[in-house]
Amino acid sequence: MNGVHDMGGMHGFGPIVIDEDEHLFHAPWEARVRSMVMLSIAQGRFNADASRYGIEQMPPAVQLNAPYFERWLASLEFNHVREGNVSEVELEDRIDVLRENPSFTVEPKAPLRPSNPPRTGNLDGLVGLSANPRFAVGDAVIAKNINPLGHTRLPRYARGKRGTITRVHGIFAFADTNAHGLGLQPQTVYNVAFAGRELWGDSAEMNQVVSLDLWESHLEPPPAE
Amino acid sequence: MNGVHDMGGMHGFGPIVIDEDEHLFHAPWEARVRSMVMLSIAQGRFNADASRYGIEQMPPAVQLNAPYFERWLASLEFNHVREGNVSEVELEDRIDVLRENPSFTVEPKAPLRPSNPPRTGNLDGLVGLSANPRFAVGDAVIAKNINPLGHTRLPRYARGKRGTITRVHGIFAFADTNAHGLGLQPQTVYNVAFAGRELWGDSAEMNQVVSLDLWESHLEPPPAE
Amino acid sequence: MTADPEQEPYVALRTKALESLLIEKGLLTEEAKDRQVSAYEMDIGPLAGAKVVAKAWTDAEFRGRLLSDAGAAIAEMGLATGTSLVVVENTPDVHNMVVCTLCSCYPWMVLGLPPTWYKSFAYRSRAVIEPRSVLSEFGLELPEDVTVHVWDSSAEQRYMVLPQRPSGTEAMSEDELASLVSRDAMIGVAAVEEPAT
Amino acid sequence: MTADPEQEPYVALRTKALESLLIEKGLLTEEAKDRQVSAYEMDIGPLAGAKVVAKAWTDAEFRGRLLSDAGAAIAEMGLATGTSLVVVENTPDVHNMVVCTLCSCYPWMVLGLPPTWYKSFAYRSRAVIEPRSVLSEFGLELPEDVTVHVWDSSAEQRYMVLPQRPSGTEAMSEDELASLVSRDAMIGVAAVEEPAT
């Protein structure tokens, strides 16, 4: 989706703020959210692509105001609701219960319920080596001008732009479909290098190259000349 | 600038909310802000292009969370500070004064101080008819791939895209420079029609055309074929 | 004498502070400010545009002049258009709609102040990429073979849509016709409905 | 027994509520959760990457294997890389830097958890359009004829930069060399400085 998460090339976000004394987590809940996300993905409750989509679907103004792990939390809630594991009403009710009674606890169950079907993740990624890739190192390609409502890993700034294949990474599940339960659609992933001037015109800095890893579905040969 | 204000083609902002019983202004301060902006522009304190830029330079998360007239207020403050008419410290101090003493009043001055130099506005716009426009109705043109840090009226979604001149509007001051005190740079403005598929690829709806009004500096002839 | 600071929203305080400083520095008068508010709030409304539409429906020569030079044609009616107005005509083959994706430019000289939805991020973002989907939220479903032409107001031109005249209105006067024409129809998110008989 | 609800931020409450429901429904255990936290927080850090860099500086054959298949080369050292790692080499002509504009993908298997600035909207938005300007905010000014190659991590590949070995380090051991290599140098926003003599 053409969302605010797709921020490559945007202006207005200010200087880079470097905090040398930073902590990895600013509060205990942040570490717990991260654990729940990693565990949910490892258990096949949802996959990493769906986890990213869960952040992308946050309303833009909310997304830009939410700190990093609050975005993870929103995605975690979104995906467990999307998969039918919990409902929004259950979440609201449990928040009320915990607000009234912070010491409220539940009995863990063993063994854990399996994910059925498991949501295969891209983190397990590499399906195999490419048998017959459409493009080879050195080929010119165009990143397609796609504007899907759902998840995509082809950012806006590269769409319609011409680049050159620099690496053939092998076959991977296609994030754009895998985020939506529309299948792994395994296909070759390529590294594509774009000249700065191709991406940004005269606004590009001197001697600039940007590489993206794109799936074969994202690419097409340039028009015949 | 590639800012969040440039939202044509973005996803995620939800359904159109139509409030039939709406009021033009939700609070008295909104009407006063609008008046101050219109008067400031009419008096040449700053121009309409600078007024738009004043909204665009708001931090993205603040901009998306601010209701309409709050964005106008931010721009009004920005531009009066930018022009040296008031300082940020004066604004903060006066807020403190009014918070302590809501009935605080000041003596109006007459006559009003002239704007020197006056900031010519695009609202007075039409400089004259075009003597020698570069393009004619029916010509194919490409909207340039520009990515300036400052104000521009060429939205991201049309950059690099091919369209057709449908109207020659005459000569106008160039908003992209005029917003920054970089001169009127009067030039021909054209209406350019883009096919939906050119803008959005296969994601375009059936039989869709989008027209933009673009300045000659935004356009170039397509490459020779 | 001291009001509760909780009562005064921060934006209202900021507004008063700026106003107070501009008046003190001789950059603003109280009277001019109030005059400006009333002019915009009270004087202009979509009826001006509706009258233009009704005249175009009943006077083919006026319609021709309106479509080629809206400012001059509307001046004939004694209405002023401050900046460059362009009127675009709906036909059985083409439906027009108006948006400003970069801010909220609007043909206020014929339609008054814009409705809140016109200024919303949802309308600004979606009108150029999924206009049919937007129109259907307004209750307007167009056949697939009708071209949807979206006018994104990116310069000084302001666009108003001349809707199609509904059938069953042949006997109506200009005033009666004007009363049928909604603001939304002139923005291009509605059709003018055939009057109930 | 009842804590002040003002004390518990809403995000912490939401976290606990979800955790409580997942445990109740047999989708999560307390122990697994705690194990996961400690593994990520404690076990991985940029030292793994620094050791890889030092080895590449001192062993040309290893460097060759690292650049052609980083996962296999690093496995020789007894380190695991969970997903597809790619190591890109800085030279006098090309400076590499890593970003993820769409989210915050990061080579955690060699660098640990990312710093906050890496996840910031400012870094994500600017690294691909004005990398030199970003680098200069980190104190790194590159000559204009050096190409800046930005790697935007849009798929499963994770990128680590192999910085240039500074002069004056010829006599150093691998461990000493590793101690010179900062996390920022392996993201590509810093150079490895010549050690003070």
Contact (CB, 8 A) for C190 and C182: yes
The pLDDT of residue B123 is 41
Give the Cα separation of B154 and B132 in Å (integer): 22
Nearest CA in chain A to D123: A16
Question: Is A147 within 8 Å of C121 when comparing Cβ atoms?
Answer: no
The number of angstroms, rounded, from the C-alpha of A9 to the middle of its chain's C-alpha atoms is 18
Cβ of residue A18 closer than 8 Å to a chain B Cβ: no
Rounded to 5 degrees, φ, ψ at D15 are -60, -50
Contact at CB, D129 and B60, closer than 8 angstroms: no
Measure A210 CA to nearest chain C CA, in Å. 27
Over residues B167-209, the pLDDT tens digits come to: 999 888 899 999 999 988 889 999 999 999 999 999 999 999 9
Say if the Cβ atoms of D101 and A7 lie within 8 Å.
yes
Inter-residue long-range contacts of C77-82, CB under 8 Å, 24+ positions, other chains counted: C77/C51, C77/C52, C79/C48, C79/C51, C79/C52, C79/C109, C79/C110, C80/C109, C81/C109, C81/C110, C82/B123, C82/C109
Q: Which residue of C has its CA nearest to B198?
A: C129
Interface test with A, best of D152, D159, D182, D183 (most A CBs within 10 A): D152
Q: Are C116 and C122 in contact (CB under 8 A)?
A: no
Number of residues written out for chain B: 225
Q: Do C156 and B95 touch (CB under 8 A)?
A: no
Please name the residues between 47 and 76 in chain B that touch chain A, using a CB distance below 8 Å.
56-61, 64-65
Closest-CA distance of chain A to residue B136, Å: 25
Catalytic residues of D: 100, 103-105
Give tens-digit pLDDT for C148-159.
999 999 999 999
The verdict on a CB contact (< 8 Å) between C125 and B33 is: no
**A187 pairs with which residues across the strands?**
A172
Contact predicate B119/B45, CB 8 Å: yes
Q: Closest residue of B to C100, CA-based? A: B8
Which residues have C-beta within 8 Å of that of residue C180, sequence separation ≥ 6? Answer: C50, C166, C169, C172, C192, C193, C195
Do chain D and chain A touch with ≥3 beta carbon pairs under 8 Å?
A: yes
Give all strands (DSSP E) within C21-82, no chain letters: none
The distance of A198 to chain B (nearest Cα, Å) reads 9
Residues of chain A with pLDDT under 70: 121-131, 225
- pLDDT per position as a tens digit, D91-106: 999 999 999 999 999 9
Rg (CA), chain D: 20
Subunits next to D (3 or more Cβ pairs <8 Å) are A, B
Q: Does the distance separating the beta carbons of D82 and A8 come in below 8 Å? A: no
Distance CA B2, CA A212 (A): 20
Residue C146 has pLDDT above 80, yes or no: yes
Task: Judge: B36–C26 Cβ closer than 8 Å, yes or no.
Answer: no
Confirm or reject contact between D144 and chain A (CB < 8 A).
yes
C86 CB neighbours in chain B (<8 A) are 167, 191
Q: Closest Cα partner for D40 from D107, D104, D109?
A: D109
User: In angstroms, rounded to a whole number, what is the distance separating the alpha carbons of residues A174 and A179?
Assistant: 9
Cβ atoms of residues A151 and A46 within 8 Å? no
% of residues, chain D, pLDDT over 70: 88
Task: Say whether residue C28 is in contact with chain B using an 8 A CB cutoff.
Answer: yes
Q: Which of A12, A56, A57 comes nearest B57 by C-beta?
A: A12
Residue of chain B minimizing CA distance to A161: B160
Contact list in A for residue B199 (CB cut-off 8 A) is 145
Residue B125's pLDDT is 47
Q: Measured between beta carbons, which residues in chain A are less than 8 angstroms from residue B208? A: none
Cβ distance B201 to A156 less than 8 Å, yes or no, reads no
Q: Does A105 touch chain D (CB under 8 A)?
A: yes
Structure token digits, residue C161: 């849509």
Distance CA B69, CA B25 (A): 9
pLDDT at C7 over 80: no
Q: Please tell me the total number of residues recorded for chain C in this structure.
A: 197
pLDDT the model gives residue D29: 82
Dmax of chain B from CA atoms?
Answer: 71
Q: Is A167 on the interface with D (CB under 8 A)?
A: yes
Q: Across the interface, which of A4, A11, A146 has its CB nearest the CB of B1?
A: A11
Angstroms from D133 CA to nearest CA on chain A: 9
Three-state SS at C88: strand
Count of beta carbons in the 10 Å neighbourhood of residue D174? 15
**Model ipTM value:** 0.94
Q: How far is B225 from chain C (nearest CA, A)?
A: 28
Instruction: Residue A60: list chain C partners with CB under 8 A.
Output: 121
Report the distance separating Cα B34 and Cα B72, nearest Å: 7
Spatial contact of B193 and B209, defined as CB atoms under 8 Å apart: yes
For residues A89 and A111, what is the distance between their CA atoms, to the nearest angstrom? Answer: 26
Tracing tokens 């009562």 back to the chain, one arrives at: C7
Give CA–CA dist B146/B155, Å, rounded.
9
Which segments in chain D show pLDDT lower than 70? 1-7, 31-44, 82-83, 197
Q: Phi and psi for B219 in degrees, rounded to 5?
A: -120, 150
The distance of C123 to chain A (nearest Cα, Å) reads 14
| Chain B residue whose CA is closest to D129 | B147
* Closest Cα in chain B, distance from residue A24 (Å): 23
pLDDT averaged over every residue in chain C: 90
Which residue ranges of chain B lie beneath pLDDT 50?
A: 123-125
The pLDDT of residue C174 is 96
User: Is residue B1 less than 8 Å (CB to CB) from chain A?
Assistant: yes
Say which of A16, A68, A214 has its CB closest to residue D137. Answer: A16
Contact B60 D121 (CB under 8 A): yes
Task: Say yes or no for a CB contact (<8 Å) between A147 and C129.
Answer: yes
Which residue on chain B is closest to A63 by alpha carbon?
A: B61
How far is Cα C52 from Cα C111, in angstroms, rounded to an integer? 11
Chains C, D in contact: 3+ Cβ pairs under 8 A? no
Joined tokens for residue A126: 């590499």
Residues 132-151 of B with CB under 8 A from D: 147
Interchain CB distance below 8 Å, C121 and A60: yes
User: Does residue D102 sit at the B interface (CB-CB below 8 Å)?
Assistant: no
Angstrom CA distances, D54 to D47, D57, D86, D195, stand at: 10, 5, 16, 14
Q: Which amino acid is at A150?
A: G
Distant-in-sequence contacts of D136-141, Cβ < 8 A, 24+ apart: D137/A15, D137/A16, D138/A16, D138/A18, D138/D184, D138/D189, D138/D190, D139/D190, D140/D189, D140/D190, D140/D191
Find chains touching chain C: ≥3 CB pairs under 8 Å: A, B
CB contact under 8 A, C19 and B108: no
Give the residue on D whose Cα is nearest the Cα of B148.
D129
Q: Which of A6, A55, A64 to mutate to test the interface with B (most CBs of B within 10 A)?
A: A64
Specify whether the backbone of A205 is left (phi greater than 0), alpha (psi in -120 to 50) or beta: beta
B201 interfaces chain C, CB cutoff of 8 Å: no
Query: Span C98-119, mean pLDDT?
Result: 94
Cross-strand pairs, B193: B164, B211
Determine the average pLDDT of the residues in C16-37: 82
pLDDT digits (tens, 9 = 90+) for A91-125: 999 999 999 999 999 988 877 888 877 887 554 44
pLDDT value for D109: 87
